[in-house]
Amino acid sequence: MNALLTVISLWLSTNFGLPMPDEYPRVEHISSPQLQISWYVSSSEGNVGGWSHHQIAQTKFESERLHGFYFEPGQAVFLEKGWSPLSIADVSVLVHEMVHHLQLRAGLNYRCPAAREKLAYQAQSKWLQMHGLSLESEFGLDGMTVLVRTNCMDDWLH
């Protein structure tokens, strides 16, 4: 896994100017139901970037299937059991979560949880596009959905 994390980190550094990490996150594979529960518990306890569960829930729709998430306090990436390094779509999920790890390690701050998602979705999209895929074809995420998820909700009110 460290070899893949190195490749992803180098790619993110080269393409998006993120610094190389001094250490990699712990990566765990858990069942889809456990992934949902773990994400909900970590976010409801206010453990995601210091934002409240309400703020985080604005960027996550309950009907959406969760493929992975980054747990900041433990510097861990949780991926669905069955995740494969041979699947471009699966690796794109790790790319997305590695953006969050590198953002944390670099000490980057964002106005809201959605704002930190912008770069993660851009990187994931570019990774998929290099292989002839897209966020929409692999995850059902169209441009409008990504736009909403990557902008602070109060931006829409002004």
Q: Is the pLDDT of residue 101 over 80?
A: yes
d(CA 138, CA 31): 20
Q: State the pLDDT at residue 51.
A: 40
> Strand pairing of 68-71 and 26-30?
unpaired
**Domain with 132 in it:** 2-157
Q: Is the pLDDT of residue 53 over 60?
A: no
Q: Which residues pair with 28 in a beta bridge?
A: 78
Q: Is the pLDDT of residue 81 over 90?
A: yes
Q: Is 121 left (phi over 0), alpha (psi -120 to 50) or beta?
A: alpha
The tally of domains found in the chain comes to: 1
